Amino acid sequence: MANLELIIIITLGFGMLAYLLGNLHRTLGSVITILGSAFVFGSLAMYGYTDTLDLTVNYLPGVLGDLGASALSHYFALLVSFVYLMVAFFNPYYIDKQKYPALYSMLYLLSLVGVIGLFYTTNFLAFFFYFELVVWSSLFLIPLGRTRSSASLYYGFSAFGGFSLLVAILLMYSGTESFNIALNLAALSGTTKVFVFLLMMISALSKLGAFPLHIWLPNVLTDAPDPVTGLFSGGLEKLGAFVAVIALVRLGGVGTMISALNIHLFNYIIMILGAITIVIGTLMAIRQDDAKTLLAYSSMSNGGYILVALGFMTTTSISGGLLHIFAHAIASTSAFLAIGAVARQTHTTKISELGGMIHKMPITYMVYLIAIISMAGIPPMGGFISKWLIFQGVISEGFIFVAIATFFGSIGSFLYVFRPLAALFLGQELPEYKTSVKEAPLLLLIPMLLLSGLNILSGVVPNYILRYTNKILSELNIAQLNLTQFTIQGNNGDLHPLLIASMFGIGVFVAFIIFISLKKSKKVDLMDTYTAGNFIYTEQHLHYTSNFYAPLERLYEAYIDKMQRFYQSLSIKVKELGEVFKYYFFTYKPEITVFWILILITLLLWGDIA
């Protein structure tokens, strides 16, 4: 479908259809989510990528019809709708656990409508509408999982972000009397610009799950249904990145210039927040026992990288940031889906309860392995290229403290991504999973393998993606990244991803030749290991899972709950304030009602006298 308006309307129709058919049969509704998201991704890939979308609007009412296309919106829309499509394959297999399967399928497509609208609208009011549509529809997806409490947490932070976005929009409206995005952003100056920037960044931080608005992210991602977790990490979080691109890059430098660092004050503050996000996300991820929570904190820390990258106004770091959005979306979705596939077979995501999954689920294991290699920023995967580009900016600008955070996060990511690998997939094969578990069904393997392929592709030939981000850069009036067919030119040296990948291939080939040309080894059982003279016959005793990094965790254990306690006491204060209002305004006590009536009459009389 080449008409953008019709794409939105038809997806909405798919949502309704999913609800109706989902009521007839639960699986039918979830199949519609696959078809609906495939329709959106297919249309966007066909016409959006080549920029031939038809933008005429006949049916959408009012401001909702203000649609426009740019390379930036295509980039985000393609990426997120692809994540939606991949996750949709998981829906039929997880729908049985839902209490309201038809509702689930409808909300899934409704949030996709919100996402598409958000990326393509040219009107701030519609932008807010679509933003809230995504928040509300995804809000009701969360409590369909484990608990309800995290949904209210998500709503609290999202509402805070949403309303600060609204205030920013109204502030801009008071200046220009128009809701047009490009017009408003161009007209900003002085103090209003600072306020708008800060308000928009609040909404970006809250959506991205960055410090200090990160509390909801691990809770929501842990408690949401398994497919929705992948959706949040790979898709919905990226809305925050989109708002951040608008605020950070399109507004340009905000605040006074710090001449020693050659950067504007507020951009620097955002980068520091990004750096703190990286460090906190890394440290928290290291100590998690639930694989989903662990990956949630890693999403948080990668959100920090995106903020740091977009904070610089240089070509390499912004391309790095845009590529990181892509690489992280793909990698974290495939990691979450792999964990989801394990959870489907074993009904748990706790690392301490799992072990030796590789023997029954080798393909899922490989998918997870490829995903974490990308997340840890190791070649030959996409995460390496984007981190390399981000480091280029950090190093040539000489931002030492931001650099410490980025280096710490990148080395720390080896630590936390290795935990599920070592304890969940590897290690002893626990007896309870020896017979019951088998490889995930084919329909689940297809999206995981596709995502893995993209992970590798984005690391081997990233120039196809970087050429597209160059289009975005030229739209944003930033110098383009220098690319040849296979090399990327950074600030201080070139990178040849294909060369690295093929040398890795050659290295592995040589090692393989050495390996097979030597004597064949004797296969022994996993329990047949060196135990220093002890006799151990139970697998659990030979499986090292809980408190993996205990010596390291001990060093910062005392500080971890500080933030949570701050927000808890804040929520108590807000509740108390609410009680005060409730006591004085919404009450059944007659004396208070009489009091207000008296006040009212006094005021009315006063008006009469005056």
Scanning residues 196 to 215, which ones bind other proteins (CB under 8 A)?
A: none
| Strand, helix or coil for residue 350 | strand
Cβ-in-10-Å burial (0-12, 13-18, 19+) of 177 comes to: exposed
Binder among 404, 478, 483, 563 for other proteins (CB under 8 A): 404
- Cis check: omega of the bond before 420, within 30 degrees of 0: no
Among all chains, which residue has been given the structure tokens 């993996």? 548
Size of interface with other proteins, in residues (CB under 8 A): 79
Q: Identify which range of 86-94, 128-136, 333-341, 537-545 contacts other proteins by CB under 8 A.
A: 537-545
Binder among 12, 359, 450, 480 for other proteins (CB under 8 A): 359
As measured in angstroms, the least distance from the Cβ of 220 to other proteins is 28
Q: Contact letters (x/-) for other proteins, 273-312, by CB under 8 A?
A: ----------------------------------------
Does the protein bind other proteins through residue 506 (CB under 8 A)?
yes
Q: Which residues contact 31 (CB under 8 A, 6 or more apart)?
A: 92
- What single-letter amino acid sits at 400? I
Beta-carbon count within 10 A of 600 CB: 10
Binder among 2, 511, 597, 603 for other proteins (CB under 8 A): 511
Beta-carbon count within 10 A of 540 CB: 14
Among all chains, which residue has been given the structure tokens 């950074």? 490
Does the protein bind other proteins through residue 426 (CB under 8 A)?
yes
Does the protein bind other proteins through residue 415 (CB under 8 A)?
yes
Binder among 59, 464, 544, 583 for other proteins (CB under 8 A): 544
Binder among 225, 427, 459, 462 for other proteins (CB under 8 A): 427
As measured in angstroms, the least distance from the Cβ of 237 to other proteins is 25
Does the protein bind other proteins through residue 542 (CB under 8 A)?
yes
Q: Identify which range of 54-62, 141-149, 411-419, 580-588 contacts other proteins by CB under 8 A.
A: 411-419
Q: Which is nearer to other proteins, 150 or 277 (CB)?
A: 277
Q: Which is nearer to other proteins, 515 or 584 (CB)?
A: 515
- Which residues is 257 bridged to in the sheet? 264
Q: Contact letters (x/-) for other proteins, 458-497, by CB under 8 A?
A: --------------------------------xxxxxxx-
As measured in angstroms, the least distance from the Cβ of 522 to other proteins is 5
Beta-carbon count within 10 A of 250 CB: 16
Yes or no: say if 430 and 356 are a contact pair by the CB < 8 Å rule: yes
Q: Which is nearer to other proteins, 221 or 286 (CB)?
A: 286
Q: Which is nearer to other proteins, 519 or 565 (CB)?
A: 519
**200 vs 278: CA distance, rounded Å:** 21
Binder among 100, 140, 155, 549 for other proteins (CB under 8 A): 549
As measured in angstroms, the least distance from the Cβ of 359 to other proteins is 7
Q: Looking at residues 93 to 112 of the shown chain, list those that interact with other proteins (rule: CB under 8 A).
A: none
Does the protein bind other proteins through residue 408 (CB under 8 A)?
yes
Q: Looking at residues 149 to 168 of the shown chain, list those that interact with other proteins (rule: CB under 8 A).
A: none
Binder among 134, 337, 376, 448 for other proteins (CB under 8 A): 376
- What single-letter amino acid sits at 474? S
Binder among 61, 174, 189, 532 for other proteins (CB under 8 A): 532
- What single-letter amino acid sits at 311? G
Binder among 170, 187, 194, 378 for other proteins (CB under 8 A): 378
Backbone φ, ψ for residue 321 (5° rounding): -65, -45
Q: Looking at residues 332 to 351 of the shown chain, list those that interact with other proteins (rule: CB under 8 A).
A: none
Look up residue 526 and give its two tokens: 């996993």
Yes or no: say if 351 and 517 are a contact pair by the CB < 8 Å rule: no
Max CA-CA distance within the chain? 107
Does the protein bind other proteins through residue 560 (CB under 8 A)?
no
Binder among 133, 159, 395, 449 for other proteins (CB under 8 A): 395
Q: Which is nearer to other proteins, 522 or 589 (CB)?
A: 522
Cβ-in-10-Å burial (0-12, 13-18, 19+) of 308 comes to: buried
Q: Looking at residues 230 to 269 of the shown chain, list those that interact with other proteins (rule: CB under 8 A).
A: 260
**170 vs 177: CA distance, rounded Å:** 9
- Which residues is 494 bridged to in the sheet? 489
Tally the C-alpha atoms within 13 A of residue 509's C-alpha that lie toward its C-beta: 6
Does the protein bind other proteins through residue 558 (CB under 8 A)?
no
Q: Contact letters (x/-) for other proteins, 25-54, by CB under 8 A?
A: ------------------------------
Does the protein bind other proteins through residue 562 (CB under 8 A)?
no
Among all chains, which residue has been given the structure tokens 């925050």? 240
Q: Which is nearer to other proteins, 400 or 442 (CB)?
A: 400
Binder among 24, 524, 558, 604 for other proteins (CB under 8 A): 524
Binder among 166, 170, 450, 526 for other proteins (CB under 8 A): 526
HEC string of 115-138?
A: HHHHHHECEHHHHHHHHHHHHHHH
Q: Which is nearer to other proteins, 29 or 427 (CB)?
A: 427
Binder among 177, 259, 442, 514 for other proteins (CB under 8 A): 514
| Strand, helix or coil for residue 145 | coil
As measured in angstroms, the least distance from the Cβ of 397 to other proteins is 9
| Strand, helix or coil for residue 501 | helix
- What single-letter amino acid sits at 160? F
CA 595 to chain centre: 51
Q: Which residues contact 536 (CB under 8 A, 6 or more apart)?
A: 527, 542
Yes or no: say if 123 and 14 are a contact pair by the CB < 8 Å rule: no
Look up residue 499 and give its two tokens: 């060369």
Among all chains, which residue has been given the structure tokens 């984005």? 458
Yes or no: say if 300 and 281 are a contact pair by the CB < 8 Å rule: yes
**478 vs 470: CA distance, rounded Å:** 9
Q: Looking at residues 571 to 590 of the shown chain, list those that interact with other proteins (rule: CB under 8 A).
A: none
As measured in angstroms, the least distance from the Cβ of 326 to other proteins is 19
